[in-house]
Every structure is written in C-alpha cells, then in structure tokens.
Amino acid sequence: MTIVRKRRPTATRRTSNRVTPQTLAALLSRVSTEMATRGMSHRTEEQYLHWVKRYIRWADGMHPTRLGVTDLNRFLESLAVEHGLSPSTRNQASCAIRFMYRHVLGLRMPRPGSRGGPVRAQKPKRLPTVLSQEEALLLLRHMKGRNRLVASLLYGSGLRLREGLHLRVKDINLHMGQIHVQAGKGGRDRITLLPIPLLSEVQEQIDRRARLHEADLEEGHGWAPFMHPFGKPIPTRQRSLAWQYLFPASSLVEDPDAPGCFGRGPLHPTAIGRALAAAKEKSGIPKHITAHTLRHSFATHLLRDGYDIRTIQELLGHKSVRTTMIYTHVLNRPGVGVRSPLEVREPEPDYHGACCACRCRCSCHSPEGNAG
C-alpha cells in the first residue's frame, strides 16, 4: 500500500474491514466537522460527503483504510469510462477522498500526478461561449417575469447562477445601485453593480416578496433557512424580511439548523435553466447557452468597452486575475495584423496607368511627382 501513516503521539484504533451504517455515519460526521473547522463552504461540504459515500459504495462497503492509491485510481477510472464524468468532476472526487484520508483518517497520500500518486485528470483548454450584446438582449426579450429578472441580473451584474438565486433582500442597495454578494464562491464577499434599468423591477420583486413573507408569518412560518454561513441563528433576525431570499421557492422547507421551523428556500436552478432553453429556441440563437454564458458575456462586453481588467476581476469575484484574463483571448482576433488571402482587397492606386508597370512607390509615382 502506498498510503503512509502519519506519526502521531497516540496510537490509532484498529478498524474492521467493512463499513457499517454506524461507522459510515461517524465517518461522515468527522468529515463534516473537519471541513467546518477549516471554514469550507456548505456547498463544498455537501459535495465532499457525496464523494466519500460514493467511494465506499463503489468499494462494496470496504473500509477506506483497507484501500489505497490503486483503488482510488480505479474508482476515478470508472467515473470516466463508465459514467463519462468531466475532468473537473473527477478531480473534485479525488480531492474529497484525499481530504478524508489526510484530515480524518490520519493517512497521507502522494500528491496527484506525482510518482505513485493518484492520477490527475487534465482539463481541456476551451474558450467560453459569449453572446453579442444584441443576442443577449434578444434572449432576455423572450423571457418573462421572475425568470427574466434573474437572467437580467446574471448578465447585467456578472453574477453566478447560485449567487443570483441566493440573494437576500438585504443584499440589494437600490439607492447606491449595488448588490452585496455574500458567501460567494470560496466563501468570499464582494460588491457588484445593480443596473439602473433593473431598479424598478427589483423594487417590485422586493414588494412581492414582502407580501409573501407577511402571508407566511400569519401562518406561523416565515423563517429564513440556511443561515449557517452568517453565524449563530437568531430568531428575530431569521423572521425579518431583510434575511428572506429575494427569489423564493414556491414551497416551504424545514430549516436544517432549526428543526420545526419552516421557511422558503431559494428558487431551484433548474427553473432558470428551462427558461433559458425555451428562450434560446424562440430567439433562434445558434449557440450553446447556459446561465454562465450570461456571466461570460458580461465580462467580455466590459472588457471590450475598455474597462480595466482589475475592475472586472473585482466585479466577477475572481481570486486571481489569471482567471479573468481568459476573456482577453475571447476578444483577440487570431493572427493579429494578418489578412486572409480570401478577403477582398481594394486595388492599389495606379497613378500612371499602363505606362508604369513596376507599381513601385517611389517619389516619381506620387501625384506630385514628375510624370516623365
């Protein structure tokens, strides 16, 4: 086995070959605790727990301490060959399982790609799909109501889909024309712009949300769920309008942090995905369009209009400017300064007609030169 056990002052407990339901629950609890201690996002925690369970299920219930790098590579191979998952998804699965080995079981694996380590899937380098400004506006015109407002915020503010759906009423600043994105990707906060043409629509959405919240309060509900990224839940804060999701789901859900308390979670992403697909068919745009295409278009159009790359990086919430630089490649024309021979060229001026066969640009061939 290529896994090396770390040196620890206390002896490790012996484990059985199989994972029982009680053992699995304890293992997942430890993984969740370790991730919470390191301040990792709730979304990442969900994904890591999913991959740990799937890895154990693939191993037919064998305990992870009885498995090694070879087994992990076989698992990653099955994800690629049998399930056709992308390189990014397979790398995420590898990170989740290695996190369990290192931080929960106290075992250490070689780094991915190193000798004797797990195989790291290579991501193909692709440029993002970008809509022109005319195509983006045409797409939005074929959407209606709440879905149109969400898509307009994705394009007009550069939000990720999850960020747009997880906006709370307090995150909107109509007077300053700003949106406060809280707990975005990587747990980072940022400020982005709120387009002026959307101010009235956003105000109307806040008014509708307030009326729905009043109706929920009258029925004894109205809790704002999923408050764990913002500290210890406070009942008075959770039942206020400010902490309610701006785009709520149609049904009530029980708050996992407060059993017995019901509120409205965020709108599900599939609703926006279906609306975008329908608008694409109606508009006839011959491109592959997702919610993230609108964010790509936001960044590309700002860059085309001459805005600084650092400003765009802050609006998008990128950790590194290298991520933002990909949009410069979208704008670049291949072979800068080179004209294809297929392009129609205007004939060069012939100052002397048939009497000059060389067509050179010496002084005698200029309009002011001597014709002799």
Domain housing 97: 4-108
- Longest Cα–Cα distance of the chain, Å, equals 104
Mean pLDDT score, 235-257? 85
* Same structural domain, 94 and 208: no
**Domain assignment present for 345:** no
Q: What does pTM read for this prediction?
A: 0.74
**Catalytic-labelled residue, pool 162, 292, 310, 329:** 292
Higher pLDDT, 110 or 160: 160
Q: Which of 87-91, 226-230, 363-367 has the lowest mean pLDDT?
A: 363-367
Instruction: Please spell the DSSP secondary structure of 267-311, one letter per residue.
Output: PPHHHHHHHHHHHHHHHT--S---HHHHHHHHHHHHHHTT--HHH
Catalytic status, residue 327: yes
Question: Would you say the C-alpha torsion 354, 356, 358, 362 has a positive or negative sign?
Answer: negative
Cα 323 to Cα 127: distance, rounded to the nearest angstrom: 12
In terms of Cβ atoms closer than 10 Å to its own Cβ (0-12, 13-18, 19+), residue 148 is: middle
Catalytic status, residue 175: no
* Same structural domain, 89 and 166: no
Q: Tell me how far the alpha carbon of residue 153 is from its chain's centroid.
A: 15
Higher pLDDT, 199 or 7: 199
* Same structural domain, 263 and 328: yes
- Residue 196 sits in a domain whose CATH number is 1.10.443.10
Cβ-contact 118, 96 below 8 angstroms: no
Cβ-contact 261, 223 below 8 angstroms: yes
Cα 125 to Cα 127: distance, rounded to the nearest angstrom: 7
pLDDT band at 8 (very low <50, low <70, confident <90, very high): very low
* Same structural domain, 181 and 274: yes
Spatial CA neighbour of 261 closest among 240, 242, 239: 239
Two tokens at 184? 């975005």
Q: Which of 216-225, 301-310, 327-336 has the lowest mean pLDDT?
A: 327-336
**Domain assignment present for 122:** no
**Domain assignment present for 366:** no
In terms of Cβ atoms closer than 10 Å to its own Cβ (0-12, 13-18, 19+), residue 45 is: middle
pLDDT band at 14 (very low <50, low <70, confident <90, very high): very low
* Same structural domain, 16 and 142: no
**Domain assignment present for 28:** yes
**Domain assignment present for 261:** yes
**Catalytic-labelled residue, pool 264, 295, 296, 301:** 295
Mean pLDDT score, 294-308? 92
Higher pLDDT, 359 or 165: 165
Two tokens at 241? 């309008």
Question: Would you say the C-alpha torsion 262, 266, 270, 272 has a positive or negative sign?
Answer: positive
Helix 291-304 to helix 269-283 angle (10° resolution) is: 70
**Domain assignment present for 154:** yes
Catalytic status, residue 185: yes
* Same structural domain, 171 and 54: no
* Same structural domain, 18 and 155: no
**Catalytic-labelled residue, pool 148, 185, 221, 228:** 185
245 pLDDT above the threshold of 90: yes
Higher pLDDT, 208 or 325: 208
Cα 249 to Cα 33: distance, rounded to the nearest angstrom: 29
Question: Would you say the C-alpha torsion 129, 134, 135, 139 has a positive or negative sign?
Answer: positive
* Same structural domain, 312 and 208: yes
pLDDT, position 360: 52
Catalytic status, residue 160: yes
Mark 196-226 as b/e (b = at least 16 C-beta within 10 Å): eebeebbeebeeebeebbeebeeeeebbbbb
Cβ-contact 37, 86 below 8 angstroms: no
* Same structural domain, 77 and 175: no
**Domain assignment present for 20:** yes
Cβ-contact 96, 52 below 8 angstroms: yes
- Mean pLDDT of all residues in the chain? 84
176 pLDDT above the threshold of 90: yes
**Domain assignment present for 194:** yes
Question: Domain count of the chain?
Answer: 2
Cα 41 to Cα 267: distance, rounded to the nearest angstrom: 19
Catalytic status, residue 74: no
Cα 6 to Cα 194: distance, rounded to the nearest angstrom: 51
Coil, helix or strand at residue 343: coil
* Same structural domain, 134 and 104: no
Cα 120 to Cα 122: distance, rounded to the nearest angstrom: 6
* Same structural domain, 104 and 165: no
- Residue 24 sits in a domain whose CATH number is 1.10.150.130
Catalytic status, residue 295: yes
pLDDT band at 54 (very low <50, low <70, confident <90, very high): very high
Cβ-contact 29, 49 below 8 angstroms: no
* Same structural domain, 206 and 145: yes
Spatial CA neighbour of 303 closest among 318, 283, 288: 318
At residue 48, what are phi and psi to the nearest 5 degrees?
-65, -45
